Structure 1
Amino acid sequence: MRIGWIDYLNTLPFNFEKTGIDLGFSHELVKGFPSQINRLLSEKKVDVGFISSVHYIQNFNDFLILPDLSISSLNKVKSVVILSEKPLEKTTQIYLTEESKTSQYLTKVIFEIFLGKNPVYKQLLDEDIKNKETVLLIGDKAIKFSNKKNYRYDLSEIWFKKTGLPFVFALWCVRKDYYEKNKEKVKKLNHVLKTSKNRFFENPEKYIKDQFLINYLKNLDYCLSEEHIKSLKLFSNYLLEINLINEKPTFRFIEDKNETYNF
């Protein structure tokens, strides 16, 4: 099994190799940032991957979702931010990280739906943010540069204030064709990821020493409930409204009979 793996701090709870769980069959972790894993899954160069929720929304006919798993936020996420020298309402141009399509599209929803603005969007191709007035950053870079501008806006917090819903940044998904031939392996991976997540949060100090980073991870939401799906559907409706997608997605899951595994 080729597993598309995003090697960010916020994926650490899913890292079953670090939490000491044996997957029980041969596998390879193919590492990259979110947009790379999106592409590799669509190109069949990985079989299962942790992908941007937007990539699922745009390609829902190709994938199935692994239940009960996501990276979401119930308010502030801290690692998906707009940094700016001026208030958001006065922003006319923004540089968008190429690392996450979901964050790019959420930025466009915030500007075009919530604020009624149409700024110029440009690609952020490097870490040189000093001479760029407004930038979108995600992941470890968002934490690293968090105090480099006069204004800092947490995108998940904006979403929560407008909708009252969690925002789902990423989902664990499997290609339908791979799942049909490897159902038991995929179900086993699903349970291993859930077990790893639970084991990590039982004693996070065992795996990471920095209390700031522990608090950052505890602030995130790794579940996938009906509220999360409701949020994904609302996000999809907004994307339709501003012509970023062409049809409403359906959210389909692998079969999960709650098999019991001993780890």
Structure 2
Amino acid sequence: MLRFGAVSYLNTKPLVETLEQRLTDWGTLRLDLPSRLAADLASGDLDVALIPSVEYFRNQSNYAIVSDAAIACRGPVWSVRLLSRVPMPEIRTLALDEGSRTSAAMAQVLLSEMHGIRPQTVPFPIGSDAAELDADAVLMIGDRAMHPPRGTYKEIWDLGDRWCRWTELPFVFAMWVARREVVENSDQLKRIDLALNASRDDGAQCFESIAIREAADQGLTNEDLHRYFAENLHFHLGPGERAGLSLFRKKAEAIGLVPPLPTASNPNA
């Protein structure tokens, strides 16, 4: 039995809609926090996991991307925002949502590239109030970004929109990854790939029903959540997404957020 893990966030729902049924008799699925999934994949407690791109970068020589199902955006993403009380070039302190390391790296890369700044970072704990933070700017993801707090902000960035405008490439938040030894057998790799892609395709046909099921708990209307899945998110890892992933890795490495890639490794493996 192969052990699969996926992040337990709203944006993952379309990717795992029918996955448990497709893994019957040969795999199990566990939903958990991104940091736990990354740790368990690295330790061997999981065989395949949907992990944030930054976590993939941190152990890339030992990992292989096993599906073209992914969580990405090709424009505004809505659920990842940077809110600043000062003009962006004047940010000195940045509070980072503890729920996402990839979005935290994305924010720092954009501020470095677009304004040449490296703010001091402080935590923005889950469950805390942005108004109580003594920071120039705050990174919010998920529900907190979709319902930003009222306050005096000089600038608000949708980070998906900023990345895509700046790079003219998509941004990849997470993808399905396995330890290389797990997929040395080509038949096993094909079986994994088919199951993950089929579940993604099933989910794409179920945006409306997923929205009806999940919207109330998120404080969203069915229409808003359906639009989020259909317009803000992109679930295919195509050539443009791989190019965006490679550029993100290069820029994150340049400012010390991920370790250097061994020369022999292929960033798109």
Interval of TM-score (by shorter of Structure 1 and Structure 2) = 0.7 to 0.9
Tell me the percent identity.
27
Q: State the shift of 1:9 in Å.
A: 1.0
In 2: Cα distance, 1:112 partner to 1:16 partner: 37
Relative to total residues, which structure has the larger helix share, 1 or 2?
Answer: 2
Note the C-alpha offset of 1:192.
Answer: 2.1
Residue 148 (structure 1) aligned with residue 161 (structure 2):
no
Report the equivalent of 1:69.
Answer: 69
Q: Residues 189-228 of structure 1 correspond to what in structure 2 (within 5 A)?
A: 189-209=192-212, 210-219=222-231, 220-228=233-241
User: What is the DSSP-based 3-state SS (H/G/I as helix, E as strand, rest coil) of the residue aligned with 2:112?
Assistant: helix
What secondary structure is seen at the aligned counterpart in 2 of 1:148?
Answer: coil
Map 1:45-124; keep pairs closer than 5 Å.
45-124=45-124
Query: What is the CA distance between 1:223 and its match in structure 2?
Result: 0.8
Aligned length: 250
Partner of residue 15, structure 2: 14
Offset of residue 21 of structure 1: 4.1
The CA deviation at 1:234 is: 1.4
- Amino acid aligned to 1:161: R
- Verify the 8 A CA contact 1:81 1:138 in the aligned structure 2: yes
Instruction: Please give the alpha-carbon distance, in whole angstroms, between the structure 2 residues aligned to 1:86 and 1:221.
Output: 32
SS of the counterpart of 1:77?
coil
Letter of the 2:148 partner, please give it. Answer: S
Tell me how far apart the structure 2 counterparts of residues 30 and 120 of structure 1 sit (CA, whole Å).
35
Once residues 39 and 259 of structure 2 are traced to their aligned partners in structure 1, the CA distance between those partners, rounded to angstroms, is 19
RMSD over equivalenced CA pairs, Å: 2.2
Counterpart CA distance in 1 for 2:142 and 2:83 is: 13
- Determine helix, strand or coil for the equivalent of 1:61: helix
Greater mean alpha carbon deviation, residues 161-170 or residues 98-107? 98-107
Say which of 237, 247, 255 aligns to 1:242. Answer: 255
Deviates more, 1:127-136 or 1:53-62: 127-136
Corresponding residue SS for 2:61: coil
CA distance in structure 2 between the partners assigned to 1:39 and 1:115 by the alignment: 33
Q: Deviations over 1:56-93 (max 9, x none)?
A: 12211111102312111101111111123333223211
Are the aligned partners of 1:21 and 1:192 in contact in 2 as well (CA < 8 Å)?
no
- Structure 2 unaligned blocks of 5 or more: 213-221
Question: More deviation in 241-250 or 167-176?
Answer: 241-250
CA 1:126–1:16: 2 relative to 1, 3 Å:
closer
Distance in 2 of aligned mates of 1:49 and 1:164? 28
Map of 2:267 onto structure 1 = 251
Shift of 1:33: 2.1
- Of 188, 191, 195 in structure 1, the residue corresponding to residue 191 of structure 2 is 188
**Shift, 1:200, TM fit:** 2.4
Worse-superposed segment, 237-246 or 120-129 = 237-246
Mapped to 1, the partners of 2:66 and 2:198 lie a distance apart of: 13
2:171 maps to what in 1?
A: 167
Mark the runs of 5 or more structure 1 residues left unpaired by the alignment: 254-263
Give a deviation string over 1:25-74, Cα, whole Å, max 9, x none. Answer: 24332222222211221121211100111121221111110231211110
Matches within 5 A, 1:122-141: 122-128=122-128, 129-132=130-133, 133=135, 134-141=137-144
Paired letter, 1:211: E
CA contact (8 A) 1:16 1:192 kept: no
User: Can you list the C-alpha shifts for 1:202-254, whole angstroms capped at 9, x where unaligned?
Assistant: 2422332211101001121111111111112211221232122342352354x
Give the residue type in structure 2 aligned to 1:218.
A
The amino acid across from 2:118 in the alignment is N
Amino acid at match of 1:81: R
SS in 1 for 2:176: strand
Partner of 2:216: none
